[in-house]
Amino acid sequence: MKPDSLYNYGMKILCFSTKVKDTAGMGWHRVGENINYYMNSYKRDNLRFSRFHYTFTFTTTFEHDDDQVFFSHCFPYTYSDLVEDLNRIEKDSTTQNYYHRATLTRTLAGNKCEYLTITSKDKDPKSAKAMAKKGVFISARVHPGESNASWMMKGVIEYLVGQTPEAKALRDNFVFKIVPILNPDGVINGNYRCCLSG
C-alpha cells in the first residue's frame, strides 16, 4: 500500500538457509537481484479515497539442493529472543538495584506480556527527589511484524541498564516503564498487524 520503499534505494531482502548455516555458519543475510517495488493495476476503493496496491519482486539463486530457505523483510526478533535477553539482564547482579521485571497481563493464548521498570531505587521512596521523578513509558511491537522495533527496544533497554554515567543519570532522574512486546501472541504466531482476536 505504500507508494515508495527502501527496496527502491538499494535495500535487499533477508534470507536464512539451513544449508548455509550448517556449512558456513552464516545466519540471516541480505540477498536478491533485480529488486523492484512498483505500483500494480490493483486498486482498493473505499468511501473516502482510492489506494493502489504495490508489488515487490526479486530474484534469488538457491545454492543447495534439499535446502530449507526463509525470507524476511526485517531481521527477526522472536518472543523467545526477548525472554532470553530479559533473563540475561535479570541474572546480572549489577541490575538488581534498578531493574524490575513483572507480568503486565496474560494474553489470550496465556503468554506473558512482559513489563519492566528501570529506575534507581531511592532509600526513601516518598522523598521529594523520588516523588519528583518523571515517568517515561516506552512500548514496541503493537504490530507484531515490525521486528525492527524490538531491535530498537533491545538497544534502549541495554543502554538504560548499562553502567555509563549517562544511563545512571537517566535512572536517577526518571522512572522508565517499558513493555518490550505489546502483542506477544501476534509475534509468536507470525502475524503482521494483529493479535489472536484480530
Distance CA 187, CA 190 (A): 5
**Residue 39 amino acid letter:** M
Domain ranges across the chain: 6-72, 79-189
> Does residue 20 carry a pLDDT above 80?
yes
Band of pLDDT at residue 3, cut at 50, 70 and 90? confident
Three cell numbers written together for 154: 533491545
Maximum CA extent, the chain: 67
pLDDT of residue 132: 87
Encode pLDDT of 169-193 as tens digits: 999 999 999 999 999 999 999 999 9
Percent of the chain with pLDDT over 90: 83
- Mean confidence (pLDDT) of the chain: 93
Give yes or no for a contact between 175 and 119, defined as CB atoms under 8 angstroms apart: yes
pLDDT of residue 126: 75
Out of 2.60.40.10, 3.40.630.10, 3.40.630.30, 3.40.50.920, which CATH number does the structure's domain 79-189 have? Answer: 3.40.630.10
pLDDT of residue 148: 95
> Does residue 101 carry a pLDDT above 90?
yes
pLDDT of residue 57: 97
Going by C-alpha positions, the residue among 126, 118, 30 that lies closest to residue 72 is 30
Three cell numbers written together for 147: 521486528
